[in-house]
Each structure stands twice: as structure tokens, then as C-alpha cells.
A and B are shown apart, each in its own frame.
Chain A
Amino acid sequence: MSWPVKTIAERTGDLLPGSPWTAALYVLLTILAVTAFMTVTGLVLIYAERKIAAHFQCRLGPMRVGWHGVLQTIADALKLLLKEDIVPRDADALLHILAPVLSFAGMLLVMIALPMSPSLQVADMNIGVLYVTAVSGLGVLGILLGGWSSNNKWSLLGAMRAGAQIISYEVSATLALLVVVLFSGTLQLSGIVQSQEAGWWIWRAHGCGIVAFAIFLIAGTAEINRTPFDLAEGESELTAGFHTEYSGLRFSFFFLSEFLNMFVLAAMTSTLFLGGWMPLHIGHFTVFNGVMDIIPPGLWFTFKTTGMIFLIMWFRWTFPRLRVDQLMRLEWKILLPIGFVNLFVSAACVVTGCYFFAR
């Protein structure tokens, strides 16, 4: 079974010669849809985080607004929008305003490259993986500038921690990502998904896959500043880290991009290691594969991403926060050497064709 990929960008391109205005309208609709998707996903994630956190602690979580508190996040969002927007007097106002936008842009630019199903992907770049690594760097810049421009020492400390942490863990995440690039032989995200037709890389890659998966998940969790790596905003140490001085709409930009970054990490992990929208296939077991194909690709993507998000939320209530020196030791002395060895071993596996269902 083949999976022809048709992206939204390609559809717009098809429309362009006929009528530029239709194409423009199509682009506008896409932007609206992406915005709506991000808002709804953000609200759902915040609600899920609160509910899951509550149940891990034998509480009920939000219960009052709507059935089991489903309208709680909507009420909170409305409250945030109505709050006063404060820029500290001695702060660099321009950078203070720019920082949340940069942070949000870094997340948004990754979002448009995510392959959600063969027919649902905004743009499918030839250099997909490189593009994702590149533009996610904008997020760090937003955090650094936000911390600096607040003119507050807690913000500055939080931003420095976040910056050091993200720059360090980016190395390991990239090394783990390269393993998948080696096995699939392409940088294109939809190509990586299609290369997993005989099985997902997490188990097909002969052990290298699962190591790379673990490294990517750890490094990714550190990159999005989530517990156990939330030193950047450790509330017991730094008030709220880099966004201490932010309020109202600008705070919600930081907050939303933090939650959506979790979605992006989960989606990237499932794309690279768990087959993305590709159903669970085992080599040449045609009957089994046929049964799995009944479930549409979009649902597979949703299942995998939701599972990964749950795992990341689970981390938060399982591991205590690391200290700064422990954080750096984990990256440079543990993850990085393992990542390099893993890359060499997987290169050897690819060259000798020593992995499951190699063609």
C-alpha cells in the first residue's frame, strides 16, 4: 500500500495558476485553521495537565466550571486576556514585547512542518529535520531576551539557566535525530514516516532505535523546560524565572508556546521513532498490516502523540527537579557519549544492512 502525500502548500501551488485570489483565500483559511488548532490544542493540554496532575496526587482538579471543569481553561484564558499588560519601567520595552513573539514563532514554525496525516501537513520541506532543528532555535532567543529585557535578576537568572540548558541539550537531541535520518536516508519528515512502512524505527533499528528514542525524549523534555528540567522557572528558587515580569496577553504567549512545545515534542518523537501517521506494520505480515490499515493515519498520529504527551506529563510527577550541576553532568558526561556511540553503531548497522526488514 502506498501513501501519497499531498501537503497544503502543494494544494495552494496547484490553485495559483488558475486564480491567485483563490490561492490567497486558501492561504488565509490555512492560517485561520492553524491558529484555531493551536488555541484549542493549548487549552486542551492545559486542562489535561491540571486533571492528570490532580489525579496523580489523588485530587479531583478543576470540577466547578462546566462538566468536570471542562470550561475552566476557557474561563482562565478569558481572564488572562482581560488582565493589565505591564511593561517594567526600566525595561527595554521593544525587546520585552518582541520576546514572547519570538518564542511563539519558534514553536509555530515547527508546527507547520509536522506531518499529521498524508493529507494534513502544511508544508513538507526537503530539509524537514534540519528545518525543525533550525527554527526551534528561535524559541531559546525568545526566552533569553524575555529574561534580559525584564530588568529583573530572577528573570535574568532564569533566562541564563534556560539558555545554557537548551543549548546543551540541543546537541544530544540532534545526535538522536541523526540516527533516524541515517536509517531512513532522508531529511524530509513525510519521507521519514514513509520509511517506517515495514515497522517503526524504535524497534526496527536493532537497539539503536530505543537508545536514540530515550535520548531524544530526555533531551527534548529538557529543551522544553519541563520538570524534571524546569530549573529555568523553578518557582521555589526563581519566582517564575524568565517570565516573572510578564502579565496578561504576553504571559499567555509564553505559557501557550510552552504547552504547545510539549505537543511539538510529542509529535516529533512519534514521527521519528513511532512511525508518525504510519499504522503499526510488521514487515511482510500482509494480513496483520491490512487490519492495521483500517484505522486511518490521522488517528494513528493522534493516538501516538497523545500517548507521548501523557508520558511527558507523567514524568513531572515522577522525577524530582535536577540541580544545575547535575543537569550539566547528565548532558555532557552521560547523554552525549552515549549519543555518539549510538550514532557510530547505527551507522555500522545501516552500512551492513543489519536491521530488521532491511531492503
Chain B
Amino acid sequence: MLASAIPTLVFYLLAAISLTLAWSVVTGRRILRAAVSLMGVLAASAGLYLLLDSPFLAGVQVLVYVGGIVVLLVFAVMLTRTTELLEDHPTRARQIVGGAVATGFFLLSYNMMTADAFVGRTLSPLPKNDVAAIGRALLDTGENGYALPFEVVSLLLLAAMIGGIVIARKPAVAAKPEAFHG
């Protein structure tokens, strides 16, 4: 009994933490605190992956989201504002539109979740839970391989990176320099 009670308890704990922190991400007016709360939400999802017996995914979640994306986010906030500035209160129109979108998305996902019974319907047998199997699946060009999606994703990342460099680059200097004084 105890063995099954502990995961359930941990699940509800993680779920409560996720929901509370997600709420404070959306409603908080201090932008850096929101970023820290977001970190908490992402770390709690890593905990959920651990609970689902996929430690590799949990590790990648922490590595990419907590160590990468949140750090980048905090970095960007630090570059843009140095003093404690509060976010403006949203206008009435924004509140209404935002609420409508959120409710619509909630209804959509609720319908999707109730429509599907979530029986185990995987295309291929789940790979054994080790890194070697995941690596082989990623490079497999066969029927159940993930080589094509992997390459497409890397192409997307490359495009994003080139885009970032183009935006960050200084505008090219004029071909014909001004007359040199001095």
C-alpha cells in the first residue's frame, strides 16, 4: 500500500506546486519573479517525468528549460531593465480578450482529453528506457525511426540561429566611406 501511496502523494504535491507557480507566472506583476516561478513550473514538470519513469527526459527538461531557457530569459530581462519596474495593469479590453482566449483553450483541451480514452496506442513498441535506445531511435531511418523529424528540428534550429545572427549584426557600413578628415 505504501509503495503506491508515495508516488500518488508526490504527484499531487508536484501538481499543486505547478499550478500555484503557473498562476503566479501569469498574474505576477514583477517580471523577474514571474521568470523564477516559471523555473519552478518547469522543474516540477521534470519531477512529473521522473514519476513517469523517464529520468532521461527529466534530465533534458532541467538542462534545456531550467538551465538554458530560464537563464536566457533572466539574462534578457536584466539587459532591458535595471530597476524594479512593475508591469502595467492590463486594460479592460485586454483582460476580456485574454480571458476569452484562455477559456476557449481550456474548453478545447478539455474536450480533447475527454474525447480520447488514452489507451496505450503507440506506433512502435516503446524503446527500452535507456539512453542508448533513445539514441538509436533518433538516428534510425527505418519505419519507426526518428531520423527525419530529428533532422527537420535541427534545420529549424539552424534557421533560428542564422536569423538571430542577422538581427544582431550591425548594419553594414556604407560601401563608399566619407571623406577622411584628419
Binding site for B on A (CB under 8 A): 16-17, 20, 90-92, 94-95, 98, 125-127, 130-131, 133-138, 140-141, 144-145, 147-149, 151, 153, 156, 159-160, 163-164, 167, 170, 187
Contact = CB atoms under 8 A, between A and B. Distances in A.
Nearest to A163: B75
A61 to B, nearest CB: 37
Contacts of B91: none
Contacts of B82: 153, 156
A16 B79 CA distance: 49
Interface string B26-46: 000010110010010000000
Given A127-B59, A151-B83, A167-B75, 5 more contacts: A126-B130, A130-B59, A130-B60, A148-B77, A160-B75
B63 A90 contact: no
A167 B78 contact: no
B74 A94 contact: no
Contacts of A141: 39, 66, 70-71, 74
B147 interface: no
A163 B15 CA distance: 31
A17 B1 CA distance: 10
Nearest to A159: B78
A118 to B, nearest CB: 22
Interface of B: 2-3, 30, 32-33, 36, 39, 55-56, 59-60, 62-63, 66-68, 70-72, 74-75, 77-79, 82-84, 130-131
A149 B83 CA distance: 9
Contacts of B62: 134-135, 137
B32 A148 contact: yes
Contact of B71 (A98, A130, A135, A163): A163
Nearest 4 pairs between A and B by C-beta?
Answer: A137-B67, A134-B63, A134-B62, A130-B59
Given A95-B32, A127-B131, A144 B78 contact: yes
| Prevailing SS type, chain A contact patch | helix
Contacts of B75: 144, 160, 163-164, 167
B30 A160 contact: no
A95 B33 contact: yes
13 contacts: A16-B3, A90-B84, A92-B33, A95-B36, A98-B36, A126-B56, A126-B131, A130-B131, A134-B59, A137-B62, A141-B39, A141-B74, A151-B84
A16 B83 CA distance: 51
A202 B59 CA distance: 27
Given A95-B32, A95-B33, A134 B67 contact: yes
A68 B77 CA distance: 48
A170 B66 CA distance: 14
A179 to B, nearest CB: 16
Contacts of A92: 30, 32-33, 84
Given A92-B84, A140-B71, A151-B84, A145 B36 contact: yes
A82 to B, nearest CB: 30
A123 B72 CA distance: 30
Nearest to A92: B84
B106 to A, nearest CB: 29
B74 A131 contact: no
Contacts of A135: 62
Most chain A CB atoms below 10 A, which of B3, B39, B67: B67
Contacts of B74: 141, 144-145, 148, 163
Contacts of B79: 160
A148 B131 contact: no
